[in-house]
Structure 1
């Protein structure tokens, strides 16, 4: 039997020390790395139109039963007043102190799967494990089926999933439909008829650009994809590989893996840690040090405050009601100084111990990436996801900083670990500092001001 998180904590003690040295496998998207080159591919969703294949990289939890909302509502900050077929939501769970456990996209499907399932939760396994735990212990009419990503699963997934995004996305869809694109609200699901079948489309986008996420039975996926490519040919459609896809959160402003608030003395979370295998707990990368509380973030810290609704009772409601009055932090983009990024690259080419290797296009080397952000000798936040955005020719990271740090402020990102952890993807290196400028998140005006309102 595999070691549980509780057993590992009893052996090591501190959760930060435990997860900093966990040799967790690098997160990879199990699709073709590049169809052309990741620089050109990642420019396409801002310039023409991009086709992204999401069929393989996310965990899915399929749900059935009369009590789905009754089980989910007490562990979600979201309202379930509008929980009906054809609507999706970014499901967010917090602990009793209002700190985030995880998030994912909950689809209430227009059409049940072949197994009769009507609801599916898509995302990293962190939130899905928390939902599974509650579904199993609730004693309610709710059943679930876990479907790992294509690195973890035998056989085909239930759904194909394709993101069609970019300024010409609607042109492609108009050609497919032979007429105007229906007016579909953000995070609503619409039935489209093309490629000789019914294709469900969620009005949503991974990179903060116009478009839809299309999905349907996996067996129909090749036909649907070819129809999208054929219709998009005259609009310079570009297929997106795994490397380019990995930078989409930097443009949409979504922090992919906040550190899960599942520690502390609360009996519910002690039971959960007994249930959760260590192998699913993830790993920490980055320069941030300190107690586990320093790694925890609220929905407001992550720019998710709009999803918090106080129309129902849920774990963490009282804490979030207080936090909502005066959030301590806010989500921002950090624009890294080009000269300091170049110095990190130069350190790999000169004698002596180099700085921590900086990957292009994505720099994250822990499942939970947490780098310290400092200003005038004090810690003012944490930098999480980091990478190179080819469209802007900038190295960026998503961060959560104190609310008194304004846009335009100068800060430093502490890059690299001191001491170096024992993870196999961490080589001997020296810690360094990268100057950065605070900017809004999402970085692009369109994604920040218009994207949700179309």
Structure 2
């Protein structure tokens, strides 16, 4: 029997955790060239000179326009919207009615009544559902990521990141540009085309003067703008970044990325599961890692687990507020970095290649993630202490690291932990997982960036 919705698919599978664990898909797709030079120099460039990433294809864009657009966002997000409007932006965080995390995305204020939500499909889908079913006077327009729409997009999106970013912009522009405040949107011209740019950083310290700009505009302008940036950047050491280096930025910046959305259970979420397509992202995603449970709710997270309590504002009613108020004074986990032990990583890599029947799970280089949602166990001794979400090697760190969520009491600089690498019972049925044995990797907790 064919499935029409995510709810149908869950009912047929019988268990959402097992459905995701054996799903025949791998890591989230970044549909652009793997390397333009080599991923090592591309990583180094965002720290020493500048790198340019083409973000035009891998994210879902949903536009919300109408008199209720701002009220809609205020009703669904943890964030405050008291000062939001044209040329403002924010990292929008959404939860379910029980205060469990669904997703995040960047919200762009294109006008006071027109917003663009950009990111993985999780948050845009939830907000679009609320817009379409909640009686809001809002027009919803979708611009799907390229793997879902044959490669065509409405806009281009270029991220320029690094200490030479401003010099490159000014040379390409032909003179000085107005400074853009952090998480505000400015406007200038490149190659005679109007460009809008968000000042934010994928790597480094937030608030540094225009070291990271996300530029966007009509897709037809993309070739001319790209050529202007690359030509201007040649003397400043600009490198174009590929899809091997791109996802490793999150490990340096501390963005956990894709986490299991809290949508797969609960009667209040059932209408949403019935709204989501059976072939959609949430229904087709995969779950990997050494943390294993048949209860999908064990994978759900709270905003505190991911450091999003910093934007949580109880200044109006919104979905999940009552539950979050009850959770506020309870113990939480804290987002941290784990610096993996070099010797243990070398041992795991060797065992994955030369271990024979006892081989370890292969560590992809530089991005060591093999499922849509990666959840690895973190232990102190034999005691569970938290979860690690994404691991990678970067030349700027000089080794492997991951973003993790650790019990508050253990989230102290220098705490020694063990990450369990590989899956139970020889691995799941995912095609991206070869038969292997689990191996421990020692790591050290860091509460501040490693670079």
Structure 2 residue aligned with 1:109: 110
Which of 299, 306, 312 is equivalent to 2:310? 306
For the aligned residues, what is the CA RMSD?
1.8
Equivalences for residues 217-366 of structure 1 within 5 A: 217-265=218-266, 267-279=267-279, 280-281=281-282, 282-290=285-293, 291-347=295-351, 348-366=353-371
Structure 2 residue aligned with 1:448: none
CA distance in 2, matches of 1:127, 1:275: 14
Q: Offset of 1:102 from its aligned partner?
A: 0.5
CA distance in 2, matches of 1:54, 1:65: 27
Q: Secondary structure at the match of 1:404?
A: helix
Deviates more, 1:10-19 or 1:352-361: 10-19
Structure 2 residue aligned with 1:27: 28
Q: Is the 8 A contact 1:88 1:189 kept in 2?
A: yes
Q: Offset of 1:177 from its aligned partner?
A: 3.9
* CA 325–181 in structure 1, closer or farther in 2 if over 3 Å, else same: farther
Q: Secondary structure at the match of 2:261?
A: coil
Q: Is the 8 A contact 1:336 1:437 kept in 2?
A: yes
Q: Give the TM-score of the pair, scaled to structure 2.
A: 0.93
Deviates more, 1:178-187 or 1:158-167: 178-187
* CA 400–24 in structure 1, closer or farther in 2 if over 3 Å, else same: same
CA deviations over 1:75-96 (Å, ceiling 9, x no partner): 2111121221101111111122
Q: Is the 8 A contact 2:370 2:432 kept in 1?
A: yes
Structure 1 residue aligned with 2:208: none
CA distance in 2, matches of 1:351, 1:22: 26
Q: Alignment length, in residue pairs?
A: 438
Structure 2 residue aligned with 1:45: 46
Which of 146, 150, 155 is equivalent to 1:150? 146
* CA 20–217 in structure 1, closer or farther in 2 if over 3 Å, else same: same
* CA 59–76 in structure 1, closer or farther in 2 if over 3 Å, else same: same
Structure 1 residue aligned with 2:178: 182
Structure 2 residue aligned with 1:410: 416
CA distance in 2, matches of 1:58, 1:264: 26
CA deviations over 1:307-346 (Å, ceiling 9, x no partner): 1111110121122223333551100000111111111211
CA distance in 1, matches of 2:449, 2:100: 22
Q: Offset of 1:155 from its aligned partner?
A: 5.0
Structure 2 residue aligned with 1:14: 15
CA distance in 2, matches of 1:200, 1:88: 12
* CA 312–32 in structure 1, closer or farther in 2 if over 3 Å, else same: same
Q: What are the ranges of 5 or more consecutive residues in structure 2 without an aligned counterpart?
A: 206-210
